[in-house]
Copies of this chain bind each other. A is one copy, B any other.
């Protein structure tokens, strides 16, 4: 496993369009297409990535900087249905945290994400990576935060 993040661009966006959520996960995570539509709107403060294993796009994640808090937010992390349960989610999050640690948009050490309260596998993953629930909620989504060293 050699997981890297590569920005979505005109050469790989169709691969992102073809990523599929696993059955049941549609309730938990936006599709990459919908996420990229939001990336257009927030194009000056975000970067959407394909998650690669070697040269195969196996998933998708967006990093967006919220200038108002300020904080880094991780949005719409997903691993394609056929590539799940192999550790790609964890490996991708480690890459995301390394990317954010370089503070590409601004100086905040705060990294936040939300997770559906019933997405227990993802909640366990994020907590094992140092994220803690803040107690804030948005409907069924709970907020998790990690402060970078």
Q: Is A131 an interface residue (CB 8 A)?
A: no
A110–B40 CA distance with the chains assembled, in angstroms: 26
The number of times this chain is found in the oligomer is 2
A36–B38 CA distance with the chains assembled, in angstroms: 8
A34 / chain B contacts, CB cutoff of 8 Å: 17, 33, 37
Chain A, 32-71, CB within 8 A of any chain B CB: 32-43, 48
Q: What is the total number of residues of chain A having a CB less than 8 Å from a CB of chain B?
A: 18
Q: Is A26 an interface residue (CB 8 A)?
A: no
A36 / chain B contacts, CB cutoff of 8 Å: 36-37, 40-41
A33–B31 CA distance with the chains assembled, in angstroms: 11
A38–B34 CA distance with the chains assembled, in angstroms: 11
A43 touches B41 (CB 8 A): no
A8–B140 CA distance with the chains assembled, in angstroms: 28
Contact for A39 among B40, B42, B48, CB less than 8 A:
B40
Question: Known pairs A13-B38, A43-B43. 4 more at Cβ < 8 A?
Answer: A8-B41, A34-B37, A35-B37, A39-B40
What is the interface of chain A, defined by CB distance below 8 A to chain B? 8-10, 13, 17, 32-43, 48
